[in-house]
Amino acid sequence: MSTAPELVPRAGAAGGTTEELRRSNLARILGFIHREGALSRAELTRLTALNRSTIGTLVGELRDLGLVTETLPDTKSGTNPAGRPSPIVHPSSSVVAVAVNPEVDAIHVGLVALGGRVLERMRIETHGVPSSRDAVELTRDAISGLLDTAAGLTVVGVGLAVPGLVRLADGQVRVADHMGWFNEPLAEMVQAATGLKVSAANAAQLGMRAEGVFGAGRGVDDLVYLIGGASGIGGGVITGGRLLVGADGYASEFGHTFVKSNGASCPCGAHGCFEAEVRQEVLLEAVGLPPSGAAQLAERLARTTDPAVVALVEEYRALTRIAVKNAVNLFNPSLMVVSGFLAALFADDSDGFASLADGSITASLEGLRIVSAQLGADQLLLGAGELVFTEGLFDPVAGFM
């Protein structure tokens, strides 16, 4: 089993030996293609400040490694400049990660290709909270089914986006309260069941990673992310361009932010935690939706006139503002990305997200933007894919082996 890679790769070193420089430049080029999508060799020359022949050599090596493909531009469109056309370099759609997100009511499994494209996705209903063993067996069967129908793929590994505290060093789930999992060696169990290389991390941190690379947080160095789902509330922080994970991977547990005195008991042992007070299942039940109906929650909340539901929404909004105020005061982000049922709570607010940070330190509000996540239901799968691809994006020569 692999040691979990860093969640946010540092830029490759520019010095060192000729071999180190070559590998660093391979990583730079593949990183651009992965994050930005198809780029011409001319665009890569501009972005990297490498000369044209060097770009050609490095792209050729990435192509030989099976990590990129090339096509010629459409010369009939009239958009190609005069002269020899510059080939377009694409991330390979045959290099994939298996992404897995276990939840209290389902196991989500997908195939994610380089470039952040979800090729296949499936939701396996569990009809109750699955045990870790059940989750592993369902995951194994789902992976087998997906790969049986997807010929010609190179599977780099499996990424687990777990709604709980996950030790990055070995993928052990220390605590996943809502799942009833404690000290479960989940990455090791999945690796033994599938024979694939496995890494695991907190689901919310991976969701934020996906939004930071492909979604609403692209190019943002100071960001706070909040997500609410079936397994509670989580989040993540990017500060100075680096993902804040803490000593072992347990940072940014926004679900356990204190929001209410004498509040409801939380499985963590405290009272008044954000995720104990603001719960997706309560909202879904209030508007008559099943556990699988979260995608329709915003629309249903916007149409409701039931006074009890309106009062519940207002209470949940007030508690969410407390958590957001704490996050803004602590981390001074330039952007906050809100996802899941927390975004649905404010979709019909006449002020939109403008009131979310009410009560924060005035200086911290200057320049702060609050937006909805862009990646929808795919964000956790994409984040799990990023976890798998990290080593290869660091070192394309050895990291994808």
pLDDT digits (tens, 9 = 90+) for 158-177: 999 999 999 999 999 999 99
Judged on CB neighbours under 10 Å (0-12, 13-18, 19+), 168 is: buried
Same domain, yes or no: 148 and 168: yes
Same domain, yes or no: 146 and 190: yes
* Mean pLDDT in residue range 214-220: 94
- Tokens 């954000």: give the residue: 274
- Tokens 């939380």: give the residue: 266
Same domain, yes or no: 346 and 360: yes
CA atoms within 13 A on the CB side of 155: 19
Same domain, yes or no: 265 and 390: no
Instruction: Report how far apart, in Å, the C-alpha atoms of 365 and of each of 217, 326, 351, 361 are.
Output: 18, 12, 16, 7
**What are the backbone angles phi and psi of residue 125, rounded to the nearest 5°?**
-65, 140
Q: For residue 20, is it within any domain?
A: no
Report which residue type is found at 145.
G
Crossing angle for the helix pair 186-194 and 132-148, to the nearest 10 degrees:
40
Yes or no: say if 193 and 158 are a contact pair by the CB < 8 Å rule. Answer: no
Higher-pLDDT residue of 150, 38: 38
Same domain, yes or no: 305 and 224: yes
Cα–Cα distance for residue pair 391/240, rounded to 1 Å: 21
- Closest alpha carbon to 313 in 278, 281, 288, 338: 278
Cα–Cα distance for residue pair 180/129, rounded to 1 Å: 8
Same domain, yes or no: 358 and 383: no
The model's pLDDT over 235-273, given as tens digits with 9 standing for 90+, comes to 999 999 999 999 999 999 999 999 999 999 999 999 999
Q: Coil, helix or strand for 381?
A: helix
Strands 232-239 vs 223-229: parallel, antiparallel or unpaired: antiparallel
Q: For residue 294, is it within any domain?
A: yes
* pLDDT score of 10 more than 50: no
Q: For residue 23, is it within any domain?
A: no
* pLDDT score of 3 more than 70: no
Instruction: Report how far apart, in Å, the C-alpha atoms of 80 and of each of 37, 77, 84, 266 are.
Output: 18, 7, 9, 60
Same domain, yes or no: 158 and 229: no
Same domain, yes or no: 142 and 184: yes
Yes or no: say if 4 and 168 are a contact pair by the CB < 8 Å rule. Answer: yes
Confidence of residue 77 (pLDDT cuts 50, 70, 90): low
Give every CB contact of residue 325 below 8 A, 6+ residues apart in sequence: 357, 358, 359, 360
The model's pLDDT over 189-214, given as tens digits with 9 standing for 90+, comes to 999 999 999 999 999 999 999 999 99
pLDDT of residue 7: 47
Q: For residue 45, is it within any domain?
A: no
Percent of the chain with pLDDT over 70: 94
Q: Domain range spanning residue 101? A: 95-206+379-394
Range in 42-46, 130-134, 158-162, 354-358 the model is least confident about: 354-358
Q: Coil, helix or strand for 105?
A: coil
**What are the backbone angles phi and psi of residue 155, rounded to the nearest 5°?**
-90, 115
Token pair of 233 as six digits: 């509330």
Same domain, yes or no: 299 and 386: no
Cα–Cα distance for residue pair 209/72, rounded to 1 Å: 32
Q: For residue 43, is it within any domain?
A: no
Same domain, yes or no: 303 and 329: yes
Burial 266-289 (b: 16+ CB within 10 A, else e): beeeeebbbbbbbbbeebbebbeb
Yes or no: say if 205 and 243 are a contact pair by the CB < 8 Å rule. Answer: yes
Token pair of 251 as six digits: 């940072």
Confidence of residue 88 (pLDDT cuts 50, 70, 90): very high
Crossing angle for the helix pair 41-48 and 18-36, to the nearest 10 degrees:
120
Q: For residue 36, is it within any domain?
A: no
Cα–Cα distance for residue pair 163/103, rounded to 1 Å: 7
Work out the end-to-end distance of the chain between its first and last CA atoms, rounded to an integer number of angstroms.
14
- DSSP track, 59-95: HHHHHHTTSEEEE---GGGS-SPSSSPPPEEEE-TTE
- The rounded mean pLDDT for the chain is 91
Q: For residue 250, is it within any domain?
A: yes
Identify the CATH number of the domain in which residue 114 sits. 3.30.420.40
Total domain count for the chain?
Answer: 2
Q: What would you measure as the largest C-alpha separation in the chain, in angstroms?
A: 73
Same domain, yes or no: 161 and 254: no
Cα–Cα distance for residue pair 274/321, rounded to 1 Å: 10
Q: For residue 29, is it within any domain?
A: no
Same domain, yes or no: 197 and 252: no
CA atoms within 13 A on the CB side of 13: 6
Range in 25-29, 83-87, 104-108, 325-329 the model is least confident about: 83-87
* pLDDT score of 157 more than 70: yes
Yes or no: say if 183 and 134 are a contact pair by the CB < 8 Å rule. Answer: no
Yes or no: say if 202 and 237 are a contact pair by the CB < 8 Å rule. Answer: no
